[in-house]
Amino acid sequence: MIRLALFDLDDTLFHHRQAVRAGIAAHVATTLPGIDASSHLDRWDALEEQHYHRYLSGEIDYLGQRRARARDFMAGFGVTLGEDAAAEDWFETYLVEYVRAWTLFDDALPCLSTLAAQGVRVGMITNGIPSFQQPKLDTLELSAHFEHVVTSGEFGVPKPDPAIYLHTCNLFGVDPAEAAYVGDRLHTDALGAAGAGLLGVWLDREATASPAETATAADSGAHIIASLHQLAPLLARS
């Protein structure tokens, strides 16, 4: 029986990708007049993927990944952000636009309400730092739903390391076998959780799962859902 549901934040409850793309488009519109941002959004996404994972692996620090993303993005326009302060200022200006675009997925709050009605406790594990993630929870009125929010920045190791899942289950006093973890990344979220003994749930909103990924999920006992509306029924029968 599943008594505890743990959630990823970005692109699971919180529409991170949409906010990122709206944020960078607005930033480009004001700082690079005449440039059409739409053809550069994928490049910005790719730079986040590249440099944020360098941060999570310990290769660079948190501010370092921000500077790297700013510098590489602007280098594509022939602009050099040489000084650290220049790169950080550029990123801070982008963040103003990113924050302006914050929103939840439509199924987020209904899912949390249904789980509460089922008596399922709720927590969060996010690969980020508290000062960046907690304002999202507060602004979007998610905080009250979560008994514990664990960030990799505070804990010291990120998902998919089993330690962060086990630490969080321990905070709740719940056996991992009675906990589920849902997130938008197969390996980082669903398989990482399954490796720690939780029920892994991959939220594949765009139904991108390949046959190989579906088989990999099945091999680890992880489930695939396309919407958070499917989570409470899944946990009720697990």
- Any contact of residue 204 with Mg ion (CB under 5 A)? no
Identify the residue among 2, 7, 10, 222 touching Mg ion (CB under 5 A): 10
Tell me: does residue 48 bind Mg ion (CB under 5 A).
no
> At closest approach, how far in Å is the CB of 55 from Mg ion?
15
Q: Choose, by CB under 5 A, the member of 2, 8, 136, 203 that binds Mg ion.
A: 8
* Interaction of residue 97 with Mg ion, rule CB under 5 A: no
CA 34, CA 15: separation in Å to the nearest integer? Answer: 28
- Residue 70 CB, shortest distance to Mg ion, in Å, is 22
Residues near 179 by beta carbon (within 8 Å), at least 6 away in sequence: 2, 3, 4, 5, 6, 165, 169, 172, 198, 199
The owner of tokens 């990123």 is 91
Tell the smallest beta-carbon distance from residue 205 to Mg ion (Å).
11
Site string for Mg ion, 137-176 (x = CB under 5 A): ----------------------------------------
Task: Return the residue of 184, 202, 203, 222 that touches Mg ion, per CB under 5 A.
Answer: 184
Least distance to Mg ion from the beta carbon of 17, Å? 9
CB of 80 to Mg ion, least distance (A): 32
Q: Count the residues of the shown chain that bind Mg ion, applying the rule CB under 5 A.
A: 4
Q: Which stretch binds Mg ion (CB under 5 A): 6-14, 58-66, 79-87, 229-237?
A: 6-14
Closest distance to Mg ion from the beta carbon of 233 (Å): 22
Q: Which lies closer to Mg ion via its Cβ, residue 10 or residue 48?
A: 10
Site residues, Mg ion (CB under 5 A)? 8, 10-11, 184
